[in-house]
Structure 1
Amino acid sequence: MPADSPLPRDAQSILALAARSSFDWFSGAGLLLVDRQARVVWINERYRDFLPALGFEREEDFVGHPVSSVVQNTQMHRVLETGKPILIDLLVNKAGTFVVSRIPLRGDDGQVIGVLGIVLFDNPGTTLQPLISKFARLEQDLDAARRELATQRRAKYTFASFVGTSAAAQEVKRQARRAAQTPSPVLLLGETGTGKELLAHAIHATSPRAGRPFVSVNMAAVPEALLEAEFFGVAPGAYTGADRKGRDGKFKLADGGTLFLDELGDMPMAVQVKLLRALQDGEIEPLGSNRIVRCDVRVVAATSRDLARLVREGQFREDLYYRLNVLPIHVPPLRERQADIPLLVEALNEDIAARGAQPQPEMGRDALALLQAQPWRGNIRELRNVLEQLSLRSESGVIDRAAVEQVLRLAGVERIEPPVADMALPGAPLSEQGPSERWLRPLAEQVREVEQQAVRAALRRCGGNRAAVARLLGMSRASLYDRLRDWGWVSEIQSNV
């Protein structure tokens, strides 16, 4: 450096020069000062030029008021809370787009006593066009991501998706529709593959919460060590490697909507305790936080396990069981509603064809009869798997009995032969096949006759025990009693018991 250079060489002088130069530069910028209560206490002449655009004619209508009430989208209160500056930010409000800085001011004791807001550029559209363009693109991407996330968290199915016209299927849908209109927890019980998740979606879609999120958690799919974080979220920096911004749990994501707990019987005991508290108090505590968060969540749970037995064996909390077992719905296995198989085959084939962008195969009557006769221990999931294999193997577009026999054999399904002369028609039980004049009469009359035959057979089997009859037929006691009253059978049954 030349000997006659006017620049100082000691740190103190350099800082003083920088401060003086910065102040001279800041004097041409818009300045706003707030106190520790986040009230505006002073603005400079340059900032006064922004008042009309912000909606204020007089300075006294602006100064002395909380900054959040006079400046839209301000972050001054955040700097007051954290004590950390925000050096560069884009502020967008009705006065325009500004590049701003926010600097905390500290007293002699080191405590934050106020914040200085600085408008660095009040016309960034010309001087900082690349930055503004990038900011706009990021905003658009964020909005698109939010819309996509909202779409994914909506219910995917309605009750129309639960295919079936059998008495068992209709009873399940009746109970589920009734449950949808209440805020109480719903417990879906049934074997794997019977459509419990589909019903959970349908319950949400029909409930008053339909416009809010539908969030699901599969207990069997999440490692036990991560379940608590998955449910209740993680506070910022809760543990080494945790996200510095924290992460919301499923309860928070489902706030105002429905939380679906699949495979409930696999939930660890440690998480059951916290889940019970969340259901009772409507409060959660994120991992690593002492802050209580309020959540308004309606729970629909599902399990293929015997929860009552798990309670007796000490593997499931009794108090949580009673909390969730308010509206239990038993979803029947496919072997108990074989009359629905033709309709299910039609619906599943249509979906398989649509997903594969290929023509829907035609199902021969003998092939359909053979499918309808099987026990389907894997329920609808197993039926779909077989239909997908048949679709891939079909070259002529027609699926015959031989093709079904081959796939069943390769899949290891225990094949059961349908009764001789069965010719399956969509929606008709095997026993109702073949032309006959007795079917050519009002359908309501035929349905009533079949229902009476089924109830009469169940009453004989159960010795007149109506609770046992309702369980055997897969219907509620109330529905059974309604039918008995309509048919005038109540006094007859009581006299015979």
Structure 2
Amino acid sequence: MSLINSFEEILKNITDAVIGIDKSGNVIIINEAAKRIFGLQAVKEKKLEDFISSIKLNRVLKTGKKEVEKEFTYNERKFILSKMPLFKDKKIEGAIALFREITDLKKIEEDKIHLEILNTILDVLNERVVVVDEKGIIIMMSKAYKEFIGCENPEGKHVTEVIENTRMHIILKTGVMEIGEIQEVQGNKMVSMRIPIKRNGKVIGAVGKVMFKDVSDLVTLTNKVNRLEQELEYYKRELNKERTAKYSFKDIIGSSASIQAVKELAMKVAKTDSNVLITGESGTGKELFAHAIHNASKRYLGPFIRINCAAIPEELLESELFGYEEGAFTGARKGGKKGKFELANGGTILLDEIGDMSIKMQAKLLRVLQEKEIERLGGDVVRNIDVRIIASTNKDLEMLVRQGLFREDLYFRLNVMSIKIPPLRERKEDISILAKKLLVKVSSKLGKYVEGISNDAIKCLESYDWPGNIRELENVIERAINLLDSDLIIKPEHLPEKITKNKTKKYFYEGKGLKNIIEEIEKEIILKCLEENDWNKNKVAKILGISRVGLYKKIERYNLNKRQLC
């Protein structure tokens, strides 16, 4: 037992696994690390070979020779195994085995190698990248980033001590990535991204990268991309000029109940082959719906032909719709010309602004719809056609029918499936997303970089009634972008005065009773008076000629609270 006692203090301070046997092969020494690794508990005074024969510690008893730093594998864990005999008076009294695990050491070494490889790649590419652990301590930073901030050895320091205006420590708390954020470092505005590193749902670190070293780099790149996209769009337009539908239902923006209901109806209509009449005010997107219906129909591989009935003089409209033969009139093209209906054969034709078509042309169009055949102007050959008709108008066709300006039989032929698109003033909850989508579209067209629209500007847009609907909104966005200078965000000052001041607000709305109209006026006057007098209720009550208690009741009734006017 003296041999055991001599190792007691040593075993307490050894983290490696240790197993010792006497000259009979019985276990006399085993520390906690060995018990944990090999799953051994009550093994003292028992033969080791009965439990782990692969250690072959008995061989040392026989040879009396030590075996140092041999690789040993147990349950897919790798160790460095050293075995040594124990002598007393030059006689072997036992043997001892020491196990040092190398699985974790190799993994750490591999991680270091991978980190070095990554660092080398980043340095070669001149990328500015930083990596922090879960506490915000920098564990790696690329050479380019070190040179930029002028810090040779940032590793081991907290990121806030090294990088100006950083938010790396914040995303460690939120776990939410931030991409395309502007960050000012040493007076230089750069565009950065920050991504949390997660393991099993827990944030264990974060990576930060400079996407653009200067905002001007982003603007330059954006302009280049915009020019390329414009060239691409030009060639696409030339290739598919007037022959294909450009839009689908995914291009119809809006989450309001009214626009969603119209989209659902239009999707159902698209599955049929019936004629469609699309009505709505100017600028609501009637043509967009027509494109989408064609692309969602079984005719989507066929041509999509559009003709504006109001833009073509009456004397030319017939030849445009039905074509003409050579010599049909002075100036007629040699060989004749196909009309829009022939070009649309097998596909869809959109008769835009159908309400502006003359009675004479309506009669000829009705014959085509009934007989499904056409004759070119100046010809005598009847040509069969297979065309789906989509007609659109901003006029009330039923009223035109009553006035004798539109044929009733043609109206019923066209109005098989009817779709009415709501005006923008009836779907104001869509204005914010529409404005942002149009911002991307228009800035791309103009080749200008714009970051976004301020909340105050959005509020102004939402308070306006939009008689020109989405087309007017797009024009307002384009005007605002053209007024931007160093500012990259559209603000109220970039909008027309009629929108920001809103002085001509109408209080009468069709379908509302007098009581509701009066209440709206009263609510608006009280709110405006409160805001003009810094919410001093005593003063406002005197100005309005009502009691303070009465004012409080009206504030509560109308749920009034402080808000920022556009």
Q: Secondary structure at the match of 1:299?
A: strand
Q: AA paired with 1:329?
A: I
Q: 1:335 is matched by which residue type in structure 2? A: R
Residues 1:376 and 2:466 aligned together: yes
- CA 1:414–1:344 in structure 2 vs 1: closer, same or farther (change >3 Å)? farther
Matches within 5 A, 1:61-72: none
Match of 1:164 among 254, 261, 271: 254
Residue 256 (1) aligns with residue 349 (2): no
Question: Is the CA contact (8 Å cut-off) linking 2:461 and 2:499 kept in structure 1?
Answer: no
Deviations 1:106-127 (Å, cap 9, x if unpaired)? xxxxxxxxxxxxxxxxxxxxxx
Taking the aligned partners of 1:212 and 1:413, their CA distance within structure 2 comes to 50
- CA distance in 1 between partners of 2:476 and 2:334 (Å): 48
> One-letter code of the match for 1:369?
K
SS of 1:328's equivalent? strand
* Counterpart among 369, 372, 379 of residue 279 in structure 1: 369
Q: Give the corresponding residue for 1:402.
A: 493
Q: Tell me the CA shift for residue 161 of structure 1.
A: 1.1
Q: What does residue 328 of structure 1 align with?
A: 418
**How far 1:373 moved relative to its partner?**
1.2
Spell out the pairing of 1:79-478 with structure 2 (5 A cutoff): 148-150=238-240, 152-395=242-485, 396-404=487-495, 406=497, 408=499, 414=504
The letter of the residue matching 2:488 is G
CA contact (8 A) 1:284 1:292 kept: yes
Residue aligned with 1:194, SS: coil
Counterpart amino acid of residue 321 in structure 2: F
Q: Alignment partner of 2:472: what SS? A: helix
- Kindly state the Cα deviation for residue 403 of structure 1 after the two structures are TM-superposed: 2.8
List gaps (5 residues or longer) in structure 2. 1-234, 508-519, 525-566
- Paired amino acid for 1:307: L
Relative to structure 1, the CA distance from residue 413 to residue 309 in structure 2 (aligned partners, 3 Å threshold; closer, same or farther) is farther
User: 1:19-58 to 2 correspondence within 5 Å?
Assistant: none
| Other structure's SS at 1:314 match | coil
Q: How many residues align?
A: 275
Contact 2:450 2:489 in 1 (8 A): no
| 1:170–1:146 CA distance, 2 compared to 1 (3 A) | closer
Determine if contact 1:191/1:304 at 8 Å carries over to the other structure: yes
- Cα contact 1:333–1:379 (8 A) shared by 2: yes
> Alpha-carbon deviation of 1:406?
3.8
Q: Does structure 1 retain, via aligned residues, the 8 Å contact 2:464–2:499?
A: no
For the pair shown, the structure with the greater C-alpha radius of gyration is 2
Q: What one-letter code is carried by the residue in structure 2 that aligns with 1:231?
A: L
Instruction: Report how far residue 361 of structure 1 moved.
Output: 3.9
* Contact 1:256 1:296 (8 Å CA) reproduced: yes
- Are the counterparts in 1 of residues 305 and 350 from structure 2 also a CA contact under 8 Å? yes
SS of the equivalent of 1:302 reads strand
Structure-2 separation of matches of 1:165 and 1:413: 29
Question: Residues 241-294 of structure 1: CA distance to partner in whole angstroms, max 9, x if unpaired?
Answer: 211200000000000000000001001111111111111111001100111011
Q: Give the drift of 1:155.
A: 0.6
Residue 194 of structure 1: how far off its partner (Å) = 0.2
Kindly state the Cα deviation for residue 404 of structure 1 after the two structures are TM-superposed.
Answer: 2.5
Q: Structure 1 unaligned segments of length 5 or more: list them.
A: 1-144, 421-497
TM-score by length of 2: 0.46
Task: Report the residue type matching 1:258 in the other structure.
Answer: T
CA distance in 2, matches of 1:337, 1:331: 11
1:117-149 C-alpha deviation (Å, 9 max, x unpaired) = xxxxxxxxxxxxxxxxxxxxxxxxxxxx99955
Question: What is the rounded CA distance, in whole Å, between the counterparts of 1:230 and 1:307 in structure 2?
Answer: 23
Q: Please state whether the residue corresponding to 2:364 is helix, strand or coil.
A: helix
C-alpha offsets along residues 184-227 of structure 1, whole Å, 9 cap, x if unaligned?
Answer: 00000110000000000000011111111100110110000001
Query: 1: CA distance between counterparts of 2:236 and 2:279?
Result: 34
Given that 2:353 and 2:394 are in contact with CA atoms closer than 8 Å, whether structure 1 keeps it comes out as: yes
